[in-house]
Amino acid sequence: MALTPTKLKTFFPEFKDAGDPMLQAHIDASAVDETIFGAQADYAHACLVGMRLADTPWGRNARLQDKDGKGSTYERRFREVSRTFNAGARLV
């Protein structure tokens, strides 16, 4: 499945007031490899989009730093899902 603005807002309702065209632009500007993330590809993609949106007015209240201050909550979630599917180096 492909990530859509509606699905993004299901994962992260804090972006419900952001316009769908703007959300779609950020979705289109980022991607994950579905062969790596499998069933979690949409969630991983949503986390990447969340990292991008954290720098927009819609993400200001949502870009909480994780407890060690090393990134947004979206970045932490992306790292977590990435570790689950990390199978070593891949040629891109």
Sequence-separated (6 or more) residues with CB below 8 Å from residue 58: 14, 15, 17, 18
Q: Which residues contact 62 (CB under 8 A, 6 or more apart)?
A: 12, 14, 15, 50, 53, 54, 73
* Domain-located, residue 25: yes
Tell me the sheet residues that pair with 72: 65
Q: Mean pLDDT across the chain, nearest whole number?
A: 83
pLDDT tens by residue, 21-45: 999 999 999 989 888 888 899 999 9
Q: What is the pLDDT of residue 37?
A: 87
Looking at the structure of the chain, the number of domains it has is: 1
Q: Is residue 92 part of a domain?
A: no
Whether 16 is in a domain gets the answer yes
Question: Would you say residue 51 lies in a domain?
Answer: yes
Do the domain assignments include residue 31? yes
The residue with tokens 């200001």 is 60
Domain with 12 in it: 5-85
Tell me, yes or no, whether 45 lies in a domain: yes
Do the domain assignments include residue 11?
yes
pLDDT at residue 52 tops 70 = yes
Contact (CB, 8 A) for 49 and 2: no
